[in-house]
Structure 1
Amino acid sequence: MDSLPLVPVELFQVFLICTARVAGFVGAIPVFSGAQSPAQIKAGLVFAVSLVLFPVIADTLPPQTTFEPAPFIIFLGAEVLIGAIMGLIARLIFTAVEFGGTIIGYQMGFAAANVFDPQNERQVSLISQMQNVFAILIFLAIDGHHIFLRTAVESFHLLPPGGIDLSGEAVPFLIELSSHMFVLAVQFSAPVLAVLLLSGLILGILARTFPQGNVFLLSFPLNIAISFAVIALTLSLVSIVLRREFDNLADHFFTMLSLLL
């Protein structure tokens, strides 16, 4: 019986490099980054995508001449870090959605009503969880997860393995995107906050006009009803903002890859 041909060490090493970068990108997809996604599914997806991409990008990856464990592990860690940085850029959008929902929840009277978020493994407000689920649905509806896979393929041409450099403009660009997160949070929460401010002004005038009325107890159900009505009326506007941000993800990814050179 003929023995199976052995895979050269250099070829196997190149495949590990490809798998490490793909694992970073797949693990960074917001839908798969949570603990609710089974590790077996994520590992199987990484292996399947790596098998598909490896023959295509094998020529673009220079094979290593030596296989020293310690430097090679650091090399693989840098490849995973690339995907983690891309995941952080996408995660900023969902963080803005949750932050805006938290502000709305506190203003409408849901400060003490929190639920457990299985994706992030922490307590979040009810409105934050609702808006986060809405953002994930929009992300999947426009095939946002395909952006990560396309970027993973193009990244081998834009950023060769081992060429990551964080000393340039990459960190300032990431800080700029982080500051944009607060602008998005204000955009998501501004309609509800404006209506609640007007409602508080009207209730304050009623409290001064009719001192015998219990305006304080009336404000709780009224603010909740008004907030839900405004959220329902502005869902289409929120979806437009989310679609715009998700469409810009590819540009942000390629800009970051060029800055990591």
Structure 2
Amino acid sequence: MDLPFVPLQQFQDFLLCLARVIALVAAIPAFAGSQIAGRIKIGLAVMTSLLLFPAMAPYTPKVAFTLTGFGLLIVNEVLVGVMIGLVTQMVFAAISFGGTVIGYQMGFAAANIFDPQTTQQLSLMSQFVNILALLAFLALDIHHFFFRAIVESYTLLPPGYLDFSQGAVQELMRLASHMFVLGVKFSAPILALLLITNLVLGILARVFPQLNVFMLSFPLNIGIAFLVISLTLGGTFSVLRREFDTMGENILNILHLLK
């Protein structure tokens, strides 16, 4: 049975490709969130699928699908796209975590702003470092890697049922634990200097009881934090580049473990 002007097998191949692509496009940090209209995401996913699915057709199973079986394949394709995007989102979550810790130590605990990517209230410093990470993500052309990952994902993991017994879940848990380590590394230089600053202010408060340490600490902590951020900006981008480079290896490991 064929659809008008389109063979049924070709239409099924397109839907399988579209399911993986649209999940991946929705998970890319540059396109995630409500600041990008849903029509733009869908249009980009459809155009990418139209260009890719002829090359992906040899990797799709050539069987007559039942409605239930085809629905399960669609769900599996969406899961593959989401898991690839989740690996990237963990890097940005680590940066956001480090920025939140820095903001609390600077005295910005109550300074929250609306984040259009997550549609939530985030710390001011968390949003600031998120924008820096997103600029580095775009400047290094990492978003181009995701479109290459779509093609490579079909050669490594053709459409079919996923196998979660090979350690894919454990690998995701390892990456999640690394997320907290990365957040601590990102915030460690600033936290160390702020700790020394608070120690010095504590000593001054005991030596000069008339000194208003509480009012002095706010501008001092903010100034020192921004000074350290500006001095360590090159190192921060080096860390981000290393994490973005290893992100590709992590995605390939996930695909191998899902075979």
TM-score range, shorter chain: over 0.9
Q: Which moved more, 1:83-92 or 1:50-59?
A: 50-59
Q: CA shift at 1:51, angstroms?
A: 1.2
Q: For residues 137-193 of structure 1, what are the alpha-carbon distances to aligned partners after superposition, in whole Å with 9 as ceiling and x for unaligned?
A: 000111111111111101111011013111221000100000000111011100110
Task: Output the CA distance in 2 between the equivalents of 1:147 and 1:34.
Answer: 20
Task: Output the CA distance in 1 between the equivalents of 2:38 and 2:211.
Answer: 57
Task: Output the CA distance in 2 between the equivalents of 1:219 and 1:18.
Answer: 56
What is the aligned partner in structure 1 of residue 250 from structure 2?
252
Q: How does 1:50-89 map to 2 (within 5 A)?
A: 50-66=49-65, 68-89=66-87
Q: CA shift at 1:47, angstroms?
A: 1.0
Output the TM-score relative to the length of structure 1: 0.95
Q: CA shift at 1:6, angstroms?
A: 2.7
What is the aligned partner in structure 1 of residue 140 from structure 2?
142
Moved over 3 A (4+): none
* Number of corresponding residues: 257
Aligned residues of 1:13 and 1:64 also touching (Cα < 8 A): no
Counting aligned pairs with the same residue, the percent is 54
Task: Output the CA distance in 2 between the equivalents of 1:123 and 1:70.
Answer: 40
Structure 2 residue runs without a partner (length 5+): none
Give the residue type in structure 2 aligned to 1:34: G
Q: How does 1:120-139 map to 2 (within 5 A)?
A: 120-139=118-137
Aligned residues of 1:115 and 1:126 also touching (Cα < 8 A): yes
Q: CA shift at 1:127, angstroms?
A: 0.4
Aligned residues of 2:73 and 2:161 also touching (Cα < 8 A): no
Give the residue type in structure 1 aligned to 2:26: G
Q: For residues 40-77 of structure 1, what are the alpha-carbon distances to aligned partners after superposition, in whole Å with 9 as ceiling and x for unaligned?
A: 111111111111111212122222313x3233122101
Give the residue type in structure 2 aligned to 1:63: K
Q: For residues 171-220 of structure 1, what are the alpha-carbon distances to aligned partners after superposition, in whole Å with 9 as ceiling and x for unaligned?
A: 00100000000111011100110000010111111111111211221111
Aligned residues of 2:61 and 2:160 also touching (Cα < 8 A): no
Q: CA shift at 1:5, angstroms?
A: 6.4
Task: Output the CA distance in 1 between the equivalents of 2:71 and 2:56.
Answer: 21
Task: Output the CA distance in 2 between the equivalents of 1:135 and 1:27.
Answer: 18
Give the residue type in structure 2 aligned to 1:192: I
Q: Which moved more, 1:182-191 or 1:158-167?
A: 158-167
Task: Output the CA distance in 2 between the equivalents of 1:37 and 1:73.
Answer: 28
1:43 partnered with 2:42: yes
Give the residue type in structure 2 aligned to 1:91: Q
Give the residue type in structure 1 aligned to 2:22: A
Task: Output the CA distance in 1 between the equivalents of 2:105 and 2:227.
Answer: 14
Aligned residues of 2:59 and 2:159 also touching (Cα < 8 A): no
Task: Output the CA distance in 2 between the equivalents of 1:251 and 1:163.
Answer: 22
Q: How does 1:1-261 map to 2 (within 5 A)?
A: 6-66=5-65, 68-261=66-259
Give the residue type in structure 1 aligned to 2:37: P
Give the residue type in structure 2 aligned to 1:159: L
Aligned residues of 1:14 and 1:63 also touching (Cα < 8 A): no
Task: Output the CA distance in 2 between the equivalents of 1:229 and 1:91.
Answer: 28
Secondary structure of residue in 2 paired with 1:167: helix
Aligned residues of 1:109 and 1:220 also touching (Cα < 8 A): yes
Secondary structure of residue in 2 paired with 1:212: coil
Give the residue type in structure 1 aligned to 2:100: T
Aligned residues of 2:103 and 2:125 also touching (Cα < 8 A): yes
Secondary structure of residue in 1 paired with 2:63: coil
Q: Structure 1 residues 33, 84: CA separation in 2 closer, same or farther (over 3 Å shift)?
A: same
Secondary structure of residue in 1 paired with 2:164: coil
